[in-house]
């Protein structure tokens, strides 16, 4: 009769478990495990913060462009040519020197 070989993976895993949970090695195992979890957590938070910063930067740039467009629109609305067109439309004239009062 042929004898079957035992699986070596179960035996190897058993030895690994015995080594890792050995009272002398257990503090190092727990410390390494905790440090690994902390490292992964910090890395995930930093990636999340980078995404939020990128989103804020994008929205800030959009607001800057909108601000520039509004300033250009205001400049067009207050241009001398447009103001003169409004003056002609509503029959307005420039004030004379006697109509201007300076407040000290």
Confidence (pLDDT) at 10: 55
Residue 78 lies in a domain: yes
Residue 6 lies in a domain: no
List the domain range (segments joined by +) for residue 45: 20-93
Contact 52, 46 (CB under 8 A): no
Q: Specify the number of domains making up the chain.
A: 1
Q: Does 2 reside within a domain?
A: no
Answer whether residue 3 is part of any domain: no
> Is residue 10 a part of any domain in this protein?
no
Contact 25, 19 (CB under 8 A): yes
50 inside domain: yes
Core vs surface per residue 27-49: b (16+ CB within 10 A) or e: eeeeeeeeeeeeeeeeeeeeeee
Rounded Cα distance between 104 and 101, Å, is 10
Asked, for residue 5, whether it belongs to a domain, the answer is: no
Q: Match 């994008």 to its residue by tokens.
A: 58
- The per-residue pLDDT string of the chain (104 residues; one tens digit each, 9 = 90 and over) reads 556 665 555 556 788 888 888 888 889 989 999 999 999 999 999 999 999 999 999 999 999 999 999 999 999 999 999 988 999 999 998 888 888 888 88
CA–CA separation, 71 and 90 (whole Å): 26
């Amino acid at each position: 009769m042929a004898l079957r070989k035992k699986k070596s993976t179960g035996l190897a895993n058993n030895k690994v478990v015995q080594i890792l949970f050995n009272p002398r090695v257990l503090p190092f195992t727990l410390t390494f495990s905790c440090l690994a979890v902390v490292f992964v957590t910090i890395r995930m938070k930093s990636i999340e913060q980078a995404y939020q910063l990128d989103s804020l930067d994008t929205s800030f740039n959009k607001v800057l462009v909108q601000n520039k467009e509004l300033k250009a629109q205001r400049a067009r609305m207050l241009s001398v040519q447009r103001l003169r067109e409004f003056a002609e439309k509503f029959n307005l004239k420039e004030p004379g020197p006697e109509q201007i009062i300076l407040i000290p």
